[in-house]
Chains A and B, each alone.
Chain A
């Protein structure tokens, strides 16, 4: 994927030079190895700052809707699905955005790589499927396939759904016999074990809301957790309040989540926030045959009525 950055820079420079877009939203190298941060560039010279590699785990669709004028955006498969969702939900108009599609081969799980080292990681480079990670004491050569994030492992939409131009060739999509093995595992537990699973999951949550802020779906001007009148949920570390936040946020994402993994990427406490949303993604697929962000003309299932909607829960 490293090679496509040249093409991304070329395309961005051309767009900015011709004045077709005011800004290009992409990734820049972060201040530490294995970190990238979103950047909005406005001049041709700054295109050198753009990077694209296997550590670009955040979702840029989050920044697309908050811009004025026409913007170009670098979009992986999941980013493009969130852009589709933004267009469907009227957060942005199609003609306001120029999508530079990047077929994606997955992002790496940074915390999994970090566990291999006792000391701090000082260098990270990649070449195709090979990752070279160094710390002050040693160097590890890793296979990228073994260190993919879980959501990338189960990803069936690596290629952008909607794009104006592609930065590299389309990649082959995988077909999964069981797309939700993680949800199946939790479903197999009994009621109390399920409860315990989620209690353990959230016990380290510090309510920093990084998951919400990283999520492209969470664009409400005032989030329900910040509302003071009425105060829907307490603001402290009470575990019922913490769980209420997570469950309600997940439900707000029902039928809209693209499993981009930005919430997990942003979490400083290493909580697998996707455990909440994955169940709803599974239900959306099984009950409504729906995957979010695939069709610019269709509203999400919980936002639309169809006589075929399942109603066997009403007695």
Chain B
């Protein structure tokens, strides 16, 4: 799925896959931090967004 999204021109860093146990609070925090930093660097997504105007 990630490969297809990348192929169609959606930045790879917008999609993350992770396996986190309910006991791994620190890993959850780390992953979410990493994701939000990467997505913030990319800026708002304008692709595949439906424009209702």
Contacts and interface: CB of A to CB of B under 8 A. Distances in A.
A250 B4 contact: yes
A187 B4 CA distance: 11
Given A314-B17, A315-B16, A315-B31, A186 B48 contact: no
A238 interface: yes
A241 B51 CA distance: 10
Given A195-B47, A240-B51, A251 B1 contact: yes
Given A240-B49, A240-B51, A280 B4 contact: yes
A117 B2 CA distance: 43
B33 interface: no
Nearest to B30: A315
A238 B49 CA distance: 10
Interface in B4-33: 4, 6-11, 16-19, 31
Nearest to B18: A315
Given A314-B18, A314-B19, A315-B31, A234 B8 contact: no
Given A195-B9, A315-B16, A279 B50 contact: no
Q: Interface size bucket, B side?
A: 20 to 34
Contact of A198 (B8, B17, B31): B8
Contacts, number: 53
Nearest to A195: B9
A305 interface: no
B27 to A, nearest CB: 10
Contact of B48 (A191, A194, A240, A315): A240
Contacts of A315: 16-18, 31, 34
Interface string A243-279: 1100100110010000000000000000000000001
B33 to A, nearest CB: 12
A180 to B, nearest CB: 11
B7 A187 contact: yes
A279 B4 contact: yes
A191 B46 CA distance: 13
A164 interface: no
Contacts of B18: 314-315
10 contacts: A187-B7, A191-B11, A194-B9, A195-B10, A197-B9, A240-B51, A244-B48, A251-B4, A313-B17, A315-B16
Given A313-B2, A315-B16, A315-B34, 14 more contacts: A192-B9, A193-B9, A194-B8, A195-B47, A197-B9, A240-B48, A240-B51, A243-B8, A243-B48, A244-B48, A247-B8, A250-B4, A315-B17, A315-B18
Interface of B: 1-4, 6-11, 16-19, 31, 34, 47-51
